[in-house]
Amino acid sequence: MKFLLDTCLAATSPPLDDEDDDRTTTIKDHPVPTRITVLVDDRAVFPGLAVEHGLALWVEHEGHKLLFDTGASGHALLANAAALRIRVEEAEAICLSHGHFDHTGGLGVLAPRMGGVDVYAHPDAFVAKYAKSPSGWHARGMALSQSQLEAAGIFARLSRDAQEVVPGVFLTGEVPRDPRFVPSTPHLCADSPMGRIIDPFHDDQALVLRARDGLAVVCGCAHSGVINLCRAAQKLMNPRHLVGQSRLRAVLGGFHLGDASPQLVAATIEGFRELLPTAIHPLHCTGEAATRALVLALPDRCHPIGTGSVVEF
Ligand SMILES: [Zn+2]
Ligand SMILES: [Zn+2]
């Protein structure tokens, strides 16, 4: 089977600084490429792979293997993993971008196979979530409660702040939000002590890791705004603002621009022009129109991918 392999693009940022701290390591420490395989997405780039509305990514970094989100059903994930010869049982951890069903629904199928693995998430990922439509309320949150997961042998490691999942790989936790970059989704709600409210998506977070020549930021739905997630990832991984240590090598995932206003799409493009990631890989809920706009605005950097794609950096 052939895979789409991300081509290495020319770096445009200054060379890495040699100075180290606990979160900043240099290029020479990472001889092995980081590899991310798209296990589940809304579209496939190769025939024969299962697609569904959801996201699941297989992350290999420095000898560690992680699952980032689980798709909606778990069945697409397992079928595609088998086709791509990936053994999900080898995952050291499952990381959840947020609590929506299309990112967490696979846990029910995975739990019996992956007992003993920890799930890393924000505590609000377990809050009941809904979508409002003219026909009423529709559940959109996690199918399993925390206690059901733990009964299946999956322990939940919950934090509102950043967590280190394996050495050098972090979840951002809650991120500061510049409202110019935040998608407006008044139909997406969540239960709270004040009743049912528009979901504040405190649980939305990104995975960030230091690859050979820069940071990789991996989003689920980017309800916080992909630019806000990138900025938070840079701050997390380079708290001392060392020269060259905030360079973005890759940004991938759902950017939640499917029904975004032209202003939000334009602001996101401007945000990417300032951040200048070497590669941008829209997936899942980015939306066709916004993806086209990103490719047109950043043709050397933006490369859409889908189920079966492999990116290395
Ligand atoms: Zn989603
Ligand atoms: Zn979502």
- pLDDT tens string, the chain, 313 residues long: the values are 333 433 332 222 333 333 444 444 444 455 678 999 999 999 999 889 999 999 999 999 999 999 999 999 999 999 999 999 999 999 999 999 999 999 999 999 998 888 789 999 999 999 999 999 999 999 999 999 999 999 988 999 999 999 999 999 999 999 999 999 999 999 999 999 999 999 999 999 999 999 988 999 999 999 999 999 999 999 999 998 898 889 999 999 999 999 999 999 999 999 999 999 999 999 999 999 999 999 999 999 999 999 999 999 9
- Does residue 271 fall inside a structural domain? yes
- Does residue 18 fall inside a structural domain? no
- Does residue 5 fall inside a structural domain? no
Residue 47: per-residue pLDDT: 87
Structure pTM?
Answer: 0.90
Counting DSSP H helices and E strands in the chain, the numbers are 7, 17
- As for how many domains the chain has, the answer is 1
Greatest CA span in the chain, whole angstroms? Answer: 58
Return the ligand number nearest the Cα of 285: 1
Residue 115: per-residue pLDDT: 76
CA of 100 to the centre of ligand 2 (A): 5
CATH code of the domain in which 251 resides: 3.60.15.10
- Does residue 15 fall inside a structural domain? no
Q: What sign does the dihedral 257-201-99-230 (CA atoms) show?
A: positive
| Burial of 82 (C-beta count, 10 Å sphere; 0-12/13-18/19+) | exposed
- Residue 308 belongs to domain spanning: 28-312
Q: Please give the angle made by the CA atoms of 24, 275 and 271, to the nearest 5 degrees.
A: 140
DSSP character string of 78-95: HHHHHHTT--GGG-SEEE
- Does residue 136 fall inside a structural domain? yes
CA of 190 to the centre of ligand 2 (A): 12
- Does residue 12 fall inside a structural domain? no
- Does residue 149 fall inside a structural domain? yes
| Burial of 131 (C-beta count, 10 Å sphere; 0-12/13-18/19+) | middle
- Does residue 87 fall inside a structural domain? yes
Return the ligand number nearest the Cα of 103: 1
> Residue 27: how many CA atoms within 13 Å on its side-chain side?
13
Return the ligand number nearest the Cα of 284: 1
